[in-house]
């Protein structure tokens, strides 16, 4: 707090993601909003499962403690529903950003009904069917990891094809976990890439195929992490594989995307959009 204090020791403003459940909604909400400000000037923490009046009181104590320590008013993103708990939270010495306060009144007006104040999804009836779908979809995705299986393509909603290490498995696992999608994958081998034909295991499922490609330099780096100096990782080899893969996609009119600068979420979203797949949110 003195003029001589070096810039790097400037106190950061605390941001709390507070929830009666996991905190995922308030983290998502808050993190998106913080992108609009200088993200490095915040210290973020999540306080999940604040679902009793006692826990709310100790959360407030903790928030106030950091406020006094840093001399900066914390920001609290809250998705807590219970009104008794919120009343306590609102008294924190913080900028209190409440998801429900800010959106529910407009929705009530439009829908001409009152919100129910029900605690969020996972606290209602336990949905074992949802859990089972996600686990089944995830086990399905993992079955294809590293080309261990070509079985079950009939059951797949989408089959990702690409040379090794272009991001097939992460995209499949993500779609399984977040959207319950049954996504298979098929690694294009050198033999596949030397042919103008589709690999025969894939021919009956052409409508389900989606290709991935990536920048050769990037694939070279990824493969080098695994096997440095191998011919598998060599730049000419990956360049050949990627060119051949893209020709194959084009020749057989298989939609594809280049994943170089994309996050796992963006790759998955691209695939689901292209394939017109229903996104379920859990």
Q: Can residue 64 be called a binding residue for a second copy (CB under 8 A)?
A: no
Neighbours of 184 (CB within 10 A): 25
Q: Which stretch binds a second copy (CB under 8 A): 56-64, 82-90, 107-115, 184-192?
A: 107-115
What residues between 242 and 261 interact with a second copy by CB under 8 A? Answer: 260-261
Nearer to a second copy, 1 or 106 (CB): 106
Residues binding a second copy: what is the number (CB under 8 A)? 76
Considering only residues 87, 122, 230, 250, which one is a binding residue for a second copy as defined by CB under 8 A? 122
Q: Does 25 bind a second copy (CB under 8 A)?
A: yes
One of 160, 173, 242, 254 touching a second copy (CB under 8 A): 173
Residues 29-48 that bind a second copy (CB under 8 A): 29, 31-33, 35-38, 46, 48
Choose the binding region for a second copy from 62-70, 114-122, 187-195, 238-246 (rule: CB under 8 A): 114-122
Residue 38: count other Cβ atoms within 10 Å of its Cβ.
8
115 binds a second copy (CB under 8 A): yes
Residue 130 binds a second copy, judged by CB under 8 A: yes
Closest contact distance (angstroms) between CB of 111 and a second copy is 6
């Amino acid at each position: 707090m003195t003029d001589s204090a070096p810039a790097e020791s400037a106190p950061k403003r605390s941001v709390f993601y507070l929830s009666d459940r996991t905190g995922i909604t308030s983290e998502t909400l808050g993190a998106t909003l913080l992108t609009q400000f200088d993200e490095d000037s915040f210290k973020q923490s999540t306080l999940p499962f604040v679902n009793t009046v006692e826990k709310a009181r100790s959360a407030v104590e903790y928030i106030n403690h950091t406020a006094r320590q840093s001399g900066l008013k914390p920001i609290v993103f809250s998705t807590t529903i219970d009104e008794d708990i919120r009343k306590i939270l609102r008294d924190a010495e913080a900028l209190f950003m409440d998801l429900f306060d800010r959106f529910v009144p407009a929705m009530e007006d439009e829908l001409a009904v009152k919100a129910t104040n029900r605690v969020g999804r996972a606290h209602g009836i336990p949905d074992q069917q949802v859990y089972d779908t996600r686990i089944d979809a995830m086990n399905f995705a993992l079955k294809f990891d590293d080309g261990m299986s070509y079985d079950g393509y009939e059951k797949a909603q989408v089959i990702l094809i690409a040379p090794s290490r272009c991001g097939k498995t992460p995209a499949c696992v993500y779609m399984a976990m977040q959207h319950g999608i049954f996504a298979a994958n098929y690694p294009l081998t050198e033999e596949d890439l030397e042919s103008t034909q589709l690999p025969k295991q894939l021919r009956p499922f052409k409508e389900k195929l989606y290709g991935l490609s990536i920048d050769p330099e990037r694939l070279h780096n990824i493969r080098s992490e695994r096997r440095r100096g191998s011919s598998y990782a060599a730049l000419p080899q990956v360049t050949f594989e990627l060119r051949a893969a893209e020709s194959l996609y084009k020749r057989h009119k298989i939609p594809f995307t280049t994943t170089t600068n994309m996050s796992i979420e963006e790759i998955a979203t691209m695939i689901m959009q292209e394939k017109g797949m229903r996104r379920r949110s859990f």
